[in-house]
Structure 1
Amino acid sequence: MYGDFSLRRAAQTDAMFLGDMLVEAANWRAGGVRPRHEVLTSADHRRYLAGWKRTADDGLVATASDDVPVGAAWYRVLPQNAPGFGFIGVAVPELIIGVHPLWRARGVGRSLLRGIVHLAGSQGHARISLSVERDNFARNLYRAEGFAVVREGESRDTMARGTA
């Protein structure tokens, strides 16, 4: 338990909530309003959920004290011929994280990030990657938690860290 929330392993039945968190991640800017169906059906985002939960997939869900999910972090190992935004290699899982707006700045994201890095390491992954837009305030969190830029893009960067 982390104050007024706790973490649990993500299950196959969490797919719809992970979709909600994918939409939150895509709409991170204040006033971000890309419709749910647009985010979830776009080729760029669909890869992060299609067929959840595959053998190599894993994740965590943050729940409020009343067991209502409020955030999630999960990873997928994506193939080289269908890479994600943060792809750095075939055996490196790519992290996705989203937190409900009312639960931001309350430690949920940091707890999920630390937990998913630990989980990935316990599953034998030496590194984990993510993609973040340059003006996203979460960059500071990722840096503080040991992520470093490994590839710069036009408006977004790929970051990675070891899980050991």
Structure 2
Amino acid sequence: MNPSHTVRKARPTDLPMVYKGELNYIQTIEPEHEQRWKDAMHSHLRQWTGALERMSVVEQDGVPVGYCFWEIIDDAACLASIHVVPELRQRGLGRLLLDHYMNDARTQGFAKLTLSVFRGNPAQFLYESAGFQCVRKGEEYVDYVYPDVTASTED
């Protein structure tokens, strides 16, 4: 039997899963930043609770297995985080969450969609395959923007 996947709005009771997912990310992708990340926990809690209305959770057969959330930065909807539990990666759940972020942001009136990713993070392939284009390569992070399909190509 194939598992059933649904995406729903996050609830405050999902925040422990977000903490575990973000900690897993730091320990796996950016271990050199773990202590600084832990020292900033109050800031993370403010970020997560502030973005709760823009946070989505993917469930498999009713069990939360991933999440994403985005923030508003200037005039853009910026993907802040996307996470799928390690044992369920490479099964399309990250793409499901990414598409949900993009649709949610557009529904809320945002034409500009952005994200930044740590260099070497395997998620870069996901973002590029979805159509995000690199606009800046920094020392540690790569910045992406989704082409604005509402922009006119006429001069």
Cα drift, residue 23 of structure 1: 2.0
TM-score scaled by length of structure 1: 0.74
* More displaced 10-residue stretch of structure 1: 125-134 or 2-11: 2-11
Note closer, same or farther for the CA distance 1:61–1:5 as it changes in structure 2 (3 Å cut). same
Cα drift, residue 70 of structure 1: 0.7
Summarize the alignment of residues 65-80 of structure 1 with structure 2, pairs less than 5 Å apart.
Answer: 65=61, 67-77=62-72
What letter matches 2:74 in structure 1? V
- Corresponding residue number in structure 1 for 2:38: 41
Q: How many Å separate the matches in 1 of 2:14 and 2:59?
A: 12
Q: How many Å separate the matches in 2 of 1:34 and 1:70?
A: 26
Unaligned runs of 5+ in 2: 150-155
- What is the aligned counterpart of 1:110 among 85, 88, 95? 95
SS in 2 for 1:50: helix
Q: Any idea what the Cα deviations from partners look like across 1:43-73, whole Å, max 9, x if unmatched? A: 4x765542533378402101111x2211101
SS in 1 for 2:139: coil
TM-score scaled by length of structure 2: 0.77
Unaligned runs of 5+ in 1: 78-88
Bigger proportion of residues as strand = 2
2:114 is equivalent to residue 129 of structure 1: yes
Q: Any idea what the Cα deviations from partners look like across 1:99-153, whole Å, max 9, x if unmatched? A: 1101101111011001111111101111222111222221111011111112210
2:74 is equivalent to residue 90 of structure 1: yes
Summarize the alignment of residues 12-27 of structure 1 with structure 2, pairs less than 5 Å apart.
Answer: 12-27=12-27
Larger radius of gyration: 2
- Corresponding residue number in structure 2 for 1:11: 11
- Answer yes or no: is the 8 Å Cα contact 2:12–2:52 preserved in 1: no
| Aligned alpha-carbon RMSD (Å) | 2.9
- Corresponding residue number in structure 1 for 2:55: 59
Q: Any idea what the Cα deviations from partners look like across 1:8-53, whole Å, max 9, x if unmatched? A: 1112332222222222333444xx76798x475344x765542533
What letter matches 2:10 in structure 1? A
Q: How many Å separate the matches in 2 of 1:63 and 1:124?
A: 26
Counting aligned pairs with the same residue, the percent is: 28
Give the number of equivalent residue pairs. 147
